[in-house]
Structure 1
Amino acid sequence: MAKAMVSSCRFSFRRIIENIREVIWVASADFARLEYVSRAYEQVWGESRERLVANPMAWMEKVHPMDLDAVRQFCEKAKAGVTDTESFPEFRIFRESGEIRWIHARMFSIQRSGKIGDLKAFIAQDVTRSRCYEAALRESEEKWRSLTENAADQVLITDLDGHINYANRPFMGLSEDQLVGRHLLGMIPPAFDDSVRACFKRVVLEEESQTCRIEQAGPGADRFHFELCMSPVLVKRQIVAVAFRFIDITRRVRRERKLRESEAFHRTLFDQSPTGISIQDFSAIEAPIKRLIDSGVSDLRNYLMDHPDIVTDLARRVRIVRVNQAAADLYGAQSVHHMRGPLGIFLEKGDYRYFVEQVAAFSSGVDHYEGEARNRDFEGNTLHLFIRKVVINRLEKGLSKVMVSLIDVTPIKAAEKERSTLLLQLQQAQKMEAIGTLAGGVAHDFNNILSIILGNAELCRADPGSDQAVRQHIDKICTASLRARKVVQQLLGFSRKNEHVFKALHLLPLVNEALIFMRATLPASIAIDSNLSAADDVIRADATQIHQVLINLLTNAGHAMQDDSGSITVAAENVSLKQPLAESILSVPAGDFIRVDIIDTGSGIPESEQGKVFDPYYTTKAPDKGTGMGLSVVHGIIQRCGGGIDLTSRPGQGSRFSLYFPLADETADEAIPDKGIPSSGCERILFVDDEPMIVEICEQILTRLGYQVNTCADPQEALSMISAAQGRIDLLVTDMSMPGMNGEELIMRARHIQPALPVILCTGDNTRIRDRSWSDQGVTEILGKPLGMKALAEAVRRALDRRETGPVNGAG
């Protein structure tokens, strides 16, 4: 039975050996006889076992020449019994196909019959595949090390407890060797410990990568910023380690901080700037403009100016994207959001030239525009703006982002307009001053001529031999001369800032006088009608100014007639207003008035211009027809009278100007009837004037009145006559304006000779001397030319009666 069991064991053992991959053979100690070789020999060496049995050392024929010496030495050593169990050095063998196999073999002795080393057992294993795996693993490891050691980032590998197994470079002042074995989480700054631990835990438990940020203090106030990326290291889908990658993001964080600071700075600058700033989007006009250019439009600016409908469409396409508070305040918007929308709603209606210039500039490739513009605010008021527009990043964004700065120059424009108005007023004042100077000279000469005419006429009228028909003609000459004197006075009053005297007066006589005056100046083809039915015409005003108002309005009515044909109607009536006329040109309060209507059948005034006709320097007339000051003067005079003005006009149907004068509660001064020539006298009078004809006329008048008259035309001669008279001159009558020596100097030198000598000063322009005090120079009368007989006789008599004590009387 024991034998059977041994046989069975041997069979089982042999079957096992025959089916394993390793090559097993058993040989004598001297390798001369082969006891056994397993089937695997044929699979590994690629030749039959029989050949090896025939030649136990045949396996060495397949050994690679480079490994053959080492294998022989090992075998010789084994034969000599130097070693009992030892592994062969790994060696290579060639197969018939040329394939190379790596063999790992070891040898040990088998004791038999009590003797050691009787047999040698060899076990050879084909390790070609594992050698390839090891080579690939070494190559992979070398590549991995090369990548990690040369990576820009810090790489650490820890076990699942956080202990460092690998570091690609020194970290936090520790070398690679010093890092190995340390706990990584203990090296994290305490402020970030919780967040890092939480990420590490999720990596281990959920096997998913995590990222967090940490900071570390640097030298001084600097801080270093890292992005910590954690990834699981998996082997056969099992996590065996955790890879940490520290990315230095300090520069990025600093750039991001600077970017945020810059963005906050520019946002604050945009939002808080006192200058209006907006962002506009012009991108929607690029395609339409390109189509126009492609269609052959070469001069885009002129083309758009000729096609306002296209410009309107383009303006609607441009969008206001963003504005600051200053821009919203400038336009009167409730908030910055109300400003967003089409640019076209803010452009001045019908005035698109500024917008066209911007479109033409941007379409030609220019990235900036600077100039003026006119916009409308939310209340419809016109804004005068200085704008600067800059295209931002045209290459990437096209015209979608245009920054606009807005400077309100409306006050400057208003100041410039006011300055222009003041300059015009100054020029007009200078012109009026020049006219005044000219008028003074003309008045002097004209009054001298009138004095001659009036004096001769009055002498003729006083002649008892004149018949009735002649006297009637002489009366007309006298009336015309006196009216001419008033015209001269009005000319002086219009050209100079005269002191106007407001007193109660009758208005209708002034209206009649103005109509008579205008009848002589207007063409005969213009009919003048009047209907003066007012029962109460007493107003408080200055007669000269009222005359000026009427003359201005009647002159304008005449100018309104086309082809010098038509009619002017002047009506006056009493009206009582229960309610004010607030909508009139110059509002009329409630009360009792005399209304004067001046109605013409001229060209009329458009409604759009009716509110402007009373503005200074506003005129629609040709330069030779007027300056635009007439109606402004009318407005000021009526306003000072406490009255009002109403205007009704239609183009082609004429105009009606209604003047409302408040009635006065006092009585007007009535004209004093002529009581004839004053009492004569016999005193001695010296009359001096450089105009010989005036001297002759006045000598005749004074002589007829009984006075002893001495005359001369030379002031120097007059002084000689006063000196020779030795105080027997009772009165000096002298003209003011004379060549060589004026009246003032003559008076001073004459009174030096005869201190108590009374003086009458005559002048053709009393506006030049009336504001002065002449009493200290002995002047008791100032007599205006032309010198009428009655005025001269009364002035002489008063001066002689008062002699030295009387005040100056501005007669004439």
Structure 2
Amino acid sequence: MANGNTVLVVDDNDQNLYLIEVLLKSQNFHVTTAKDGKQALEKARKDIPFMIISDILMPVMDGFTLCRAWKQDDLLKEVPFVFYTATYTDQKDEEYALSLGADKFIRKPMEPDLFLEQIQTVLKESLEKSLPTHEPLVKDEDEDYKLYSERLVNKLEKKMFQLEEEIETRKKVEIELRDSKKEWKDIFQAIGNPAFIIDNEYNILNANLAAINASKVSENELKKMKCYEIFHGLDKPVHNCPMCNLINTNQKQTGEIEIENFGGSYLISCTPIFDGKNKLEKAIHIATDITALKKAEKSLRDSEKKFKSVFHNAHIGIVIANNEGELEDFNEDFRKLLGYGRAELLGMNFGNFTFPDDLENELEYFNKIKDGLLSTYRLQKRYVTKNKDIKWIELTVSAVRGNDGEIIQFIGMVLDIDEQKKSEENKKQLEMQLRQSQKIEAIGNLAGGIAHDFNNILSTIIGYTELSFDDVEKGSILEDNLNEIYNGGKRARDLVQQILTFARKADEDIIRIRPDQMAKEVVKLLKSTTPSSIEIRTHFNTSSYIMGNSIQLHQVFMNLCTNSIQSMEDAGGILELNIKDKVFPSLTEDTIGVQGGESILIKVSDTGTGIPKNVLDSIFDPYFTTKELGQGTGLGLSTVHGIIKSYGGEITVKSQENIGTTFKIYLPIVSNNGQTQSHKDVSIPKGTEKILFVDDESSIVDVGKKILTRLGYKVTAMTSSFEALDRFRSNPDAFDLVITDMTMPNLSGDRLSSELIKIRSDIPIILLTGFSKKIDKDKAVQMGIKAFAHKPLVLSKLAKIIRKVLNS
């Protein structure tokens, strides 16, 4: 009698047995297992199960035979028989299984719930005696056996086709396995090229006859030598030795190398052989003479069997094609390169997987060989794989001719150089970026020089303007004019700072600024350089402040507006720049990254070409650019994104091709604590101390002396740093403070300061600079300098610095 909840599971795969057992036990079944049909019958006859679930392909006794025996056994035939298999099944397998009496045929893989549902259905039908019956496909025993054999043979053929390394029939493989030792020796000796067995210390363990002949030494002598001794006459491996690379990587290696003692260039193929612990034991080293390719071709024609052993173990793509370029044979490396199945590639023309732009060039060479104008050709080209990937390869093609001189076949050797090509492309990109950075560095150096001279000029303009304020009637037109000059000088000063920041040569202080004022300056600059076909519209409805850096914000406006203008250069269009206050009562998709609730909204829109959808998500990535080589660094929008994020803001973009692009920037508003003071409202501290003022520019010395004198100080002004040093040395206590320029001939400001401090260690020094790469605030403080400031300084700031230094 059948055991009420026992299920017998039959499968030669331990993992399959385990998975089904766990699944059935989760439903409170008792499970017994067997690994073949014979074992299953023995167990079932001792303890009849409630159901049997069996695979088809198994050793000793397969599933079909088991099912036939099961249904013919009086004790077992009423027990439901279920096939659960994925081993190369088709509809005919199912039909045959059901004809043998199987109650269910289930294909793997199947979701666990569905599988259990199928099992429960079979059990229910079994209990209700409602299991479907199936007529045998054939009633004659011989016909049944024939059908059974066809099913198994069909499965075996499919299985053979799936095995990566089996390229011949199973029968041939079995013969090769039985005779592998003898056949290996025969094949090894039959290889037409020098072949060696070399251990992981470069010792030659064995060599075929071709190797012995090429080496011109006896086999016994060869086995006492290192490979590099016999190949190159050296005491160590040569550079880029494939055998050396194999030992270092444990991977197959190929490469071209000069073998001096063999007298030519050889294509070396090194194939690793591992021991039972997967440790490199030795390697098969085959040297193919590519200086005499025609001899190799003839040897291959005369020794097809010998060629096949090399053909399938060379670890370089090899392909054979007929006169029309249709593939007749190829090795596994070539198949893997293209990604097709063997059946798909056989008969395919090489033009089908050649990149279209490369086909015409190769056909020209191919036809020249057919016309007898060339015997071989080598070129670099691109293949299109089955997955539509494009791969660079180096192809060498030669014609194989018969005794009558007519071309029989073409043989191609294919080397994968895709990584090499990518490296070359990356190198070009890096070189382009280097050139761009060198340009920026050159601009920076030029900007530094301009900044120094221009700041000196501005110092004179601002200084004399401030002196003039005390000499004009308050509220007069002249005072208004002076105010315009004064404000213009400060704007020019800020412009110099913008140039230095662009060149990465100025500090970037974060202060309270108004974005609308910065935008107005940018628009003025753009209008002078923008084509008349592009209209610039602005709408500023804000007077709010943000925390930021005016130079960085200038860079943001310039980058976004310049990109918009460039997108409309061909067809013209409209650039709109809008700024307004916007209060956000709740977080939205656009403002998810904005710190705080109240923000300024900056919107830059254009009617240009738009940004392609497939690159929209990448526009803020560093070095990403859609511009042609040499026209962009890919840093503009990345820099903009970084600046906005550093301010606690958010930037978004929406774009449609041929319609336009809109960037939105949200920046947190800060309160305006205090109003900006005009020149006449500023409180200016004064004093009566004695000051030594040094600058090599006479105009700055003149205006500096006048300003300091008007502030009440007693001033000694000098244009020579050497003379100033002598003057100080003669009477160090004659001065309460020294103010010196940094960049001066002969003796620079920092060196002058050092000498003054040596003479009198407590002398307060203020160091001024229009621009200097040599020194900054930190270095100045380390030297003992009390204050460090950039030209041009407005009177109020200079007065406060002087007073602060003297008071301290």
TM-score norm. by structure 2 comes to 0.55
Match of 1:401 among 385, 389, 409: 409
Match of 2:663 among 658, 666, 673: 658
Partner of 1:763: 769
Local SS of the residue matching 1:779: coil
Q: Does 1:485 align with 2:493?
A: yes
Is the alpha carbon distance of 1:703 and 1:622 closer, same or farther for their aligned partners in structure 2, counting shifts above 3 Å? farther
Match of 2:319 among 264, 275, 278: 278
- Deviation at 1:508? 4.3
AA in 2 matched with 1:658: F
Partner of 2:190: none
Inter-partner Cα distance in structure 2 for 1:569 and 1:280: 62
Paired residues for 1:382-781 under 5 Å: 382-393=390-401, 401-465=409-473, 467-496=475-504, 500=508, 507-519=515-527, 522=530, 526-532=534-540, 538=546, 542-562=549-569, 567-572=574-579, 596-601=602-607, 616=623, 630-631=636-637, 633-634=639-640, 637=643, 643-646=650-653, 648=655, 650-651=657-658, 655-661=660-666, 663-664=667-668, 673=677, 676-765=682-771, 768-770=774-776, 772-781=778-787
Is the alpha carbon distance of 1:635 and 1:393 closer, same or farther for their aligned partners in structure 2, counting shifts above 3 Å? farther
Partner of 1:800: 806
Check conservation: 1:451, 1:786, Cα contact below 8 A. yes
Inter-partner Cα distance in structure 1 for 2:700 and 2:605: 45
Inter-partner Cα distance in structure 1 for 2:650 and 2:661: 17
Is the alpha carbon distance of 1:542 and 1:788 closer, same or farther for their aligned partners in structure 2, counting shifts above 3 Å? closer
Inter-partner Cα distance in structure 2 for 1:351 and 1:608: 27
Check conservation: 1:575, 1:595, Cα contact below 8 A. no
AA in 2 matched with 1:553: L
Local SS of the residue matching 1:273: coil
Inter-partner Cα distance in structure 2 for 1:611 and 1:351: 32
AA in 2 matched with 1:569: E
Inter-partner Cα distance in structure 2 for 1:590 and 1:328: 54
Inter-partner Cα distance in structure 2 for 1:475 and 1:564: 43
Check conservation: 2:738, 2:766, Cα contact below 8 A. yes
- Deviation at 1:686? 1.0
- Deviation at 1:619? 7.0
- Per-residue CA deviations over 1:249-308 (Å, capped at 9, x if unaligned) read xxxxxxxxx999965553233223322222223x23xxxxxxxxxxxxxxxxxxxxxxxx
Partner of 1:321: 328
AA in 2 matched with 1:475: N
Local SS of the residue matching 1:686: strand
Check conservation: 1:457, 1:474, Cα contact below 8 A. yes
Is the alpha carbon distance of 1:347 and 1:519 closer, same or farther for their aligned partners in structure 2, counting shifts above 3 Å? same
Is the alpha carbon distance of 1:399 and 1:484 closer, same or farther for their aligned partners in structure 2, counting shifts above 3 Å? farther
Is the alpha carbon distance of 1:686 and 1:264 closer, same or farther for their aligned partners in structure 2, counting shifts above 3 Å? same
Partner of 1:791: 797
Q: Does 1:347 align with 2:388?
A: no
Local SS of the residue matching 1:761: strand
- Deviation at 1:567? 3.6
Is the alpha carbon distance of 1:259 and 1:278 closer, same or farther for their aligned partners in structure 2, counting shifts above 3 Å? closer
Local SS of the residue matching 2:762: coil
Q: Does 1:331 align with 2:338?
A: yes
AA in 2 matched with 1:362: I
Inter-partner Cα distance in structure 2 for 1:479 and 1:621: 41
- Deviation at 1:603? 6.3
Paired residues for 1:69-468 under 5 Å: 263=304, 265-281=306-322, 283-284=323-324, 318-333=325-340, 335-340=341-346, 341-365=348-372, 366-393=374-401, 401-465=409-473, 467-468=475-476
Inter-partner Cα distance in structure 1 for 2:545 and 2:406: 77
Check conservation: 1:376, 1:382, Cα contact below 8 A. yes
Inter-partner Cα distance in structure 2 for 1:346 and 1:469: 82
Check conservation: 1:508, 1:537, Cα contact below 8 A. no
Inter-partner Cα distance in structure 2 for 1:703 and 1:323: 95
Inter-partner Cα distance in structure 2 for 1:546 and 1:269: 67
Unmatched tracts of structure 1, length 5 or more = 1-220, 223-257, 285-317, 582-586, 803-812
Is the alpha carbon distance of 1:745 and 1:768 closer, same or farther for their aligned partners in structure 2, counting shifts above 3 Å? closer
Check conservation: 1:280, 1:321, Cα contact below 8 A. yes
Local SS of the residue matching 2:685: coil
Check conservation: 1:368, 1:391, Cα contact below 8 A. yes
Say what the alpha-carbon RMSD is for the aligned residues: 4.1
Inter-partner Cα distance in structure 1 for 2:349 and 2:673: 70
Instruction: Give aligned-pair identity as a percent.
Output: 29
- Deviation at 1:791? 1.7
Check conservation: 1:598, 1:657, Cα contact below 8 A. yes
AA in 2 matched with 1:550: F
Inter-partner Cα distance in structure 2 for 1:426 and 1:544: 25
Is the alpha carbon distance of 1:778 and 1:372 closer, same or farther for their aligned partners in structure 2, counting shifts above 3 Å? same
Inter-partner Cα distance in structure 1 for 2:342 and 2:674: 72
Inter-partner Cα distance in structure 2 for 1:691 and 1:683: 23
Local SS of the residue matching 1:727: helix
- Per-residue CA deviations over 1:527-557 (Å, capped at 9, x if unaligned) read 4322345798747x65422321211232343
AA in 1 matched with 2:702: E
AA in 2 matched with 1:323: F
Report how many residues are paired.
Answer: 502
AA in 2 matched with 1:686: L
Local SS of the residue matching 1:475: helix
AA in 2 matched with 1:710: T
Partner of 1:80: none
Inter-partner Cα distance in structure 1 for 2:804 and 2:760: 20
Check conservation: 1:523, 1:564, Cα contact below 8 A. no
Check conservation: 2:448, 2:772, Cα contact below 8 A. no
- Deviation at 1:736? 0.4
- Deviation at 1:362? 2.3
- Deviation at 1:704? 1.1
Local SS of the residue matching 1:463: coil
Is the alpha carbon distance of 1:453 and 1:358 closer, same or farther for their aligned partners in structure 2, counting shifts above 3 Å? same
- Deviation at 1:407? 1.5
- Deviation at 1:353? 3.6
Local SS of the residue matching 2:327: strand
- Per-residue CA deviations over 1:105-132 (Å, capped at 9, x if unaligned) read xxxxxxxxxxxxxxxxxxxxxxxxxxxx
AA in 2 matched with 1:544: I
Unmatched tracts of structure 2, length 5 or more = 1-184, 187-298
- Deviation at 1:783? 1.3
Is the alpha carbon distance of 1:617 and 1:606 closer, same or farther for their aligned partners in structure 2, counting shifts above 3 Å? closer
Is the alpha carbon distance of 1:469 and 1:701 closer, same or farther for their aligned partners in structure 2, counting shifts above 3 Å? same
Inter-partner Cα distance in structure 1 for 2:756 and 2:594: 60
Partner of 2:267: none
Is the alpha carbon distance of 1:499 and 1:687 closer, same or farther for their aligned partners in structure 2, counting shifts above 3 Å? closer
- Deviation at 1:357? 3.4
Inter-partner Cα distance in structure 2 for 1:544 and 1:556: 18
